Structure 1
Amino acid sequence: MADAADIAEAAPPAPFREAHLLPVDLDVERRADGVILITSRVPLRPYDANIPAAFARRAAASGDKPALARRGADGEWAFTSFAQLKQDMDAATQWLMDEAPAGPVLILAGNTPAFAVMSFAAQAAGRAACPVSTTYAALGGDYGRLAHVIAKVKPAVVFAEDTAMAAGALEALDLGGARIITTDPSRLSKPAVAYADLLATVPTPAVATSIAGLKAQDRAALMLTSGSTGLPKVVPITFDNLAANSAQCQQTIGEAAGWHEVMLDWLPWHHAAGAFVLRTTLLEGGTLYIDDGKPAPGLFETSIRNLREISVSYFNNVPLGYAMLVEALEKDPVLRATFFKKMRLMLYGGAGLSQTVHDRLQACAVAETGHRIMMTSGYGMTETVSAFMVIHFETDKVGIGLPAPGTTLKLAPVGERYEVRARGPNVTEGYLDEPEKTADAFDEEGFYRTGDLAVFHDPADPTQGLAFAGRAAEEFKLSSGTWVYGGSLRDGLLKALSPLVMDLVLCDDGRPYLGVMLWPVVGADPAEVARRLAAFNLDQRGGAARVKRALLLAEPPSANAHEISDKGTINRRAVIDRRADQVERLFAETHDAGVLALG
């Protein structure tokens, strides 16, 4: 007689909750040299590239409906209506045209209504918006990254909403004559304009004239790459790039996401994914609740509080955020009920999601609703505006999906894997004033080289999509000359160590064996971590995939040291460089008691 475990294993999986995704219809071209080209046969839907004009129409139709919501000092939600947002944008646009020289508008602000106002106003006035992480101004020192961006962008205006946070940088750096706009100019010795004065400006018909004159190929934004391997590059983005990408993503998952409904999101608006959420929610007439939390110690509790209160049909996060979320969902029935009440679609981006975290999330969903919830990827980067590959088919496998309409995916063989390349209306033409880096970033057919590697879930059936197989820049050799394939190895280790470990970093180039630094969950037993690692090693064929030393880190990854990005992804190189003393402990001839030695 079969036992309960056998019966459970034989039972069919719970059905997916209906998500109404784009049908899969592919054109696959296989070349003699092994290159594969994949496009969707579904044509990209028409779109209006004039984003400020599109928002003007949306604001007129939505009126007093809340566009943005953010908790005030009292902890209660404060709302900004579409009508108010449009009024403030028009006032700021008029000021920019009247008072500021031509040139980009650099925005140093968090996710606030003022950020949205200045971003749209800059575009409406024909100025590219250049959003920059506030950490660049808050770190102190020589403000090297911010100085680099200012020198590259040459802004005509610097908007720094939080005067106290930005004062040191504004005073120390040469802004090249840029006008400063801030909340409290009295805190600066340099001349500055109060943000309130911009909002008091009376708009004239010149605002509508400026918007009407915008062209699809005009620069709408100057976005920064993460700078994980050096100083950030500046990526010019046109209105056509932005609008095409919004159309691609809405066409692929738009009905499931429900952009016209309620959104709750923490992703920073100075990054591609966060900027997409802001832009698309506003253009589609939804209400965006700004989550001031993030997947980091001391901040994630804010996100959990918000998720207990607000039910959404679409949720967007990075893998680290999901790893932290599933811990909370498994322990908190109130959170679980609110989170899954309306949920139709969960999206992960920024890095590969662990299959174990995926499976635990689905177990929570089935326990709460009786259904699995569609989990999709948002695979893209700054150079592609945002996601250009999406999982838009029912699957329980993590991956990066298939190309959205309008994008041609090129897979260039690298051994048994493929380098991912892309071409389409959403792809930038290159980097600002860096012709050599631009040339290196594109192949002879004009495809952008992502530097990421992928494999088919089923080589005989491309409709099942692709799986992330590592970043070329994160693969390294041991002193023996053997390669460590960081992407797949990291995913395997996270699966083996779940739920004991939140994240990890593989160490290191040129070493005699593989070491790993781990961030454990609170209360994780080091002995159990060592046991899991030993079991993992037994299943590995080569020495380059077997962990010989491990170290559990007490200090969380530091955003100030760029160990973790604003969107919650780990910068492996920064972690290794900053924690050189810990790395040396891993590889010391005689290890100390805090290092787990696995033979």
Structure 2
Amino acid sequence: MSAVTRTFDILDHCLKNFPREDALCRKEGSEWKKYSTEEYARHAYLIAYGLMALGLRRGDRVATVSSNRPEWSFLDMGLALSGGVHVPIYPTISEEEYRYILAHSEARFLFVSDAKMYEKLKPLADELESIEEIFSFNEVEGAKHISEIYSLGEANESHFRGVVGELKNSMSEDEMATLIYTSGTTGKPKGVMLSHRNLVSNFKAHAQNHELGDQHRVISFLPLCHVYERSMNYHFQYKGMGIYYIETIAQIMPAVKEVKPHMFNTVPRLLERIYDGIIGKGEQLTGIKRKIFFWALALTERFDYQVKFGLGYRFKLAIADKLVFSKWREALGGNVHYIVSGGAALQERIARVFGAAKICTLEGYGLTETSPVIAVANPATGELKIGTNGPVLPGVQVHIAEDGEILVKGPNVMLGYYNEPEMTREVIDDEGWFHTGDVGTLIEGKYLKITDRKKEIFKLSGGKYIAPQMIENKFKESLFIEQMMVIGENQKFASALISPNFDLLHDWCAERKIHFHDNKELVRTSEVMNQYRKVVREINKMLGQHEEIKRFKLVCEAWSPQSGELSQTLKLRRKFVAQKYKTLIDDIYNNPV
């Protein structure tokens, strides 16, 4: 196989080993627009020539604000070929964050996906001295289109072909390939500098974890601007898989039915929604079908990859598969072998349900600063342990510090934070260990398990420690709880703010003829409060006495990145939530009942 040591080496690697007609695809109207491996490479080279004709120099930054689509990858590879640095930005952040990132990165060019993003960012781009041009992927009135770059590339190809060839030969693995700004849960975004070595070492390592390859297809819907989906995007290309990009959440299920993917990446929240949908359909069944459904579901509670089950259980599982689980697989296109889950802890019951149904969920862990994967489940070696993030990736070293913090060393650790040497020294020590800020342990000496964020662990006034994330994940196993934040630092007891699963709660109320005007009134009704007291009481039984939630308040809003309670990667923004609901929190501790 071709040597891949820089991101752009993927192009030659795929042209030589895995040419395919559907290398990168996008839904346009009712049809899938497919780009072959050859067309992909051609677009990337034309972008390199075109940007160089515009004056792009080695090390210059170029920003993108776009949904997932082939043009994103064309530009990503074109930038790598020309020695440019890709600055991918979320399409859903605030104007203040856009201004900060574009100014801090000193981006020279900005590419946006559509008219909506162009109208939002054009005035801002005009304000910033560094930005010379803004281009769009879609045809937008008054905007320069990416086709202008292609045309410029074609016109200057003879001049720059040799220049790009020389650049490819001279490009070090240690040169910065991308600058990714962490969405963060507090403070200003930090620009994480990742080299070709960081990215390539990482995706080549986790690409060995399964047997799928050039005969298989994937869908891609998590944002490519996030290093998790981007790394998997390289991984899929490296293995010769066809990638079908999905631009909106609403397109996912129709695409699943059309593409029939063999693999995809997701976050636990989306798997929880799929699980809730499965349970919802089961609840609608009657008679013998309902009994069979819940009998099959109960079987999954025992499922474990590492247990050698007896003939009796395997026989029951085979019957359940024929009658129930096969229908779940069919709903996901019928071909899904693996679902990769990252960004937060996956509930064990969901891993067991999908595993029993022959859909292997590969839970992983990492950070933007580690390119990103530190550990991930590995079906190729049979190293799958539910409730953990899998074994540490080959080539990566993990050390658990005395206070439980996970320290990481390896070729995946970032170059540092852009223009922030002090911040870099705070997280990478003199011996080269990156301090993750996460607390964890190595189960059986090799399976990494995250227990909490170091900065989020707090003490009650009695001196007992509370790890909020672990408690929140336990409570979120209830279908009634969408999101939750545990509170109680320096207080006598732990309490919580709960954002209900409003879809389920509305149905629950309708069945019981409970009337309400809006969610504000809903969360105050005595029947609803009694139901949540019951849920909390049951889950408290699984916790240590000091971890029990003594009091809670239901909030009347669903939490999301758009409303600010969650980050772009769906992590709780605790300071924001605490500030927003300060009155409710004060009421919990100042007016005990």
User: Into which bin does the TM-score normalised by the smaller protein fall?
Assistant: 0.7 to 0.9
Q: Which SS does the other structure have where 1:135 is aligned?
A: coil
Pairwise CA distance, 1:449: 0.7
Cα 1:161/1:346, change in 2 over 3 Å: closer
Which moved further from structure 2: 499-508 or 53-62?
53-62
User: Which of 432, 442, 461 is the aligned partner of 2:418?
Assistant: 432
With over 3 angstroms needed to count, the CA separation of the structure-2 counterparts of 1:63 and 1:374, relative to structure 1, is: closer
Note closer, same or farther for the CA distance 1:213–1:462 as it changes in structure 2 (3 Å cut).
same
Range with greater deviation from structure 2 (279-288 or 472-481): 472-481
The match for 1:473 is 455
For 1:186 and 1:454, the matched residues in 2 are separated by 48
Q: How does 1:226-375 map to 2 (within 5 A)?
A: 226-251=183-208, 253-255=209-211, 257-258=212-213, 261-294=216-249, 299=250, 302-331=251-280, 335-339=328-332, 341-363=334-356, 365=357, 372-375=358-361
**Which residue matches 1:558?**
560
Q: How does 1:368-383 map to 2 (within 5 A)?
A: 372-383=358-369
Q: How many angstroms apart in 2 are the aligned matches of 1:62 and 1:539?
A: 50
Distance 1:568 1:445, change over 3 A: same
Map 1:116-135 onto structure 2 (within 5 A). Answer: 116-135=73-92
Which position in structure 1 is the counterpart of 2:305? none
- C-alpha spacing 1:541/1:293, structure 2 compared with 1 (3 Å): same
1:535 aligns with 2:516: no
1:196 aligns with 2:147: yes
Q: What is the aligned partner in structure 1 of residue 393 from structure 2? A: 404
Decide which of 494, 504, 523 is 1:514's aligned counterpart.
494
The match for 2:26 among 52, 70, 78 is 70
Query: By how many angstroms is 1:586 displaced?
Result: 4.2
Count of residue pairs the alignment pairs up: 513
Which residue does 2:117 correspond to in 1? 165
Q: How many Å apart are 1:438 and its aligned residue?
A: 0.7
CA positional deviation for 1:469 = 0.8
In structure 2, distance between residues paired with 1:51 and 1:260: 22
Aligned partner (choices 480, 484, 501) of residue 500 of structure 1: 480
Q: What amino acid sits opposite 1:198 in the alignment?
A: I
> Aligned in 2, Cα 1:307/1:583: closer, same or farther, shift over 3 Å?
farther
User: Residue 473 of structure 1 aligns to a residue in which SS?
Assistant: coil
Q: How does 1:84-123 map to 2 (within 5 A)?
A: 84-102=39-57, 103-123=60-80
Closer, same or farther: CA 499–208 of 1 in aligned 2, 3 Å: same
Aligned to 1:267, the other structure's residue is in SS state coil
CA contact (8 A) 1:469 1:488 kept: yes
Matched, 1:485 2:467: yes
Structure 2 counterpart SS, 1:66: coil
Q: Could you tell me how far 1:500 is from its partner in structure 2?
A: 2.4
- Alignment deviations for residues 30-71 of structure 1 (CA, whole Å, 9 cap, x no partner): xxxxxxxxxxxxxxx995212213313424655561122222
Aligned-residue CA RMSD (Å): 2.7
Q: Counterpart amino acid of 2:440?
A: A
State the alpha-carbon separation in 1 of the partners of residues 214 and 368 from structure 2: 21
Give per-residue Cα distances to partners, 1:296-345, cap 9 Å, x unaligned.
xxx4xx32333334333323211111111112234567553243733333
Cα distance change of structure 1 residues 278 and 562 upon mapping to structure 2, 3 Å threshold:
farther
1:385 aligns with 2:371: yes
Q: State the SS of the aligned residue for 2:210.
A: helix
State the Cα distance separating 1:555 from its structure 2 match: 2.4
- Residue identity matched to 2:445: P
Q: In the aligned structure 1, how far is the partner of 2:113 from the partner of 2:247? A: 16
Greater per-residue helix proportion: 2
CA shift digits 1:84-142 (9 cap, x unpaired): 22222111111111113431111111112221111111111001111011123xx4xxx
Whole-Å separation in 1 of the counterparts to 2:182 and 2:3: 26
Shift of 1:558: 2.8
Deviates most, 272-281 or 285-294: 285-294
- Once residues 517 and 260 of structure 1 are traced to their aligned partners in structure 2, the CA distance between those partners, rounded to angstroms, is 47
1:413 maps to which of 394, 402, 405 = 402
Question: Do the aligned residues in 1 keep the contact of 2:376 with 2:392 (CA within 8 Å)?
Answer: yes
Out of 128, 137, 152, the residue aligned to residue 104 of structure 2 is 152
Residue 175 of structure 1 is aligned with which of 128, 136, 149?
128
Tell me by how many angstroms 1:220 deviates: 0.8
Find 1:589's aligned residue among 561, 575, 591.
Answer: 591
Partner of 2:551: 549
Q: CA deviation at 1:384?
A: 0.8
Distance in 2 of aligned mates of 1:94 and 1:46 = 24
Structure 1 Cα separation of the partners of residues 124 and 371 of structure 2: 32
The structure with higher relative contact order (CA 8 Å, sep 6+) is 1
**Structure 1 pair 61–209 and aligned structure 2 pair: CA distance change class (3 A):** farther
Q: Name the SS for the 1:51 alignment partner.
A: coil
8 Å CA contact retained: 2:262, 2:338: yes
Note closer, same or farther for the CA distance 1:70–1:588 as it changes in structure 2 (3 Å cut): farther
Calculate percent identity across the aligned residue pairs: 20
Q: Which runs of 5+ in 1 are unaligned?
A: 1-44, 366-371, 591-598
Report if the CA contact (8 A) 1:563-1:570 is conserved: yes
- Whichever residue aligns with residue 547 of structure 1, its letter is I
For 1:80, the aligned partner's letter is Y
Instruction: Indicate the SS of the match to 2:103.
Output: helix
**Matching residue's letter, 1:411:** I
Question: Post-superposition shift, 1:482?
Answer: 3.9
| 2: CA distance, partners of 1:230 / 1:505 | 19
Shift of 1:479: 4.8
**What amino acid does structure 1 have at the position aligned with 2:395?**
G
- Identify if the C-alpha distance between structure 1 residues 247 and 566 changes in structure 2 by more than 3 Å, giving closer, same or farther: same
Residues 426/510 of structure 1: CA separation in 2 closer, same or farther (3 Å cut): same
Residues 400, 407 of structure 2: 8 Å contact kept: yes
Instruction: Return the alpha-carbon distance in structure 2 between the equivalents of residues 444 and 213 of structure 1.
Output: 30
Distance in 2 of aligned mates of 1:569 and 1:59: 39
Amino acid at match of 2:432: G
Query: What letter is aligned with 1:550?
Result: F
